[in-house]
Amino acid sequence: MPAFIGFNTVNQFKKFTLTDFELIKRDLANALNIQQGQIPGKPQYGTTIWSYLFESQTQDTINKVLDELARVIALDPRIYVFAARAFPQENGMLIELEVETIPGTSASILTLFFDTQSRTAIVS
């Protein structure tokens, strides 16, 4: 029996229900594709990561991105991050996260790509 059940229409054609880790990934992608403060009544929802991605990708900028990512993920009680690694790319930033779902017993690698050309965050 799934622990988490949700609804998704992004890239879905027949089956709109997502469960467990797939639902967590979709919810995280939603939070990372919305500028912080854009949702009425939820001023903490969303992210400011996009403002950092257009700066030079120094270690200080990478640390700010990882700190902001940690803040966004901390808003979701279903996921815990063990480690995060950032890899600057020509047209964005790739981030690998070692995560565990709560409740859960297995760790997974989550890959995030922030594409500055399309201004989208892709979670896989």
Extents of the domains making up the chain: 5-123
Q: Please tell me the pTM assigned to this model.
A: 0.78
Q: How far apart are CA 88 and CA 113, in angstroms?
A: 10
Mean pLDDT across 57-74: 93
- Tens digit of each residue's pLDDT (9 = 90 or more) over 10-52: 555 556 666 567 778 888 888 998 999 888 998 988 999 989 9
Q: How far apart are CA 93 and CA 16, in angstroms?
A: 29
Q: How far apart are CA 7 and CA 58, in angstroms?
A: 38
pLDDT at 1 over 70: no
Q: Does domain 5-123 have CATH number 3.10.450.40?
A: yes
Q: How far apart are CA 27 and CA 57, in angstroms?
A: 26
The strands making up 107-115's β-sheet, listed across from edge to edge, are 79-89, 92-101, 107-115, 120-123
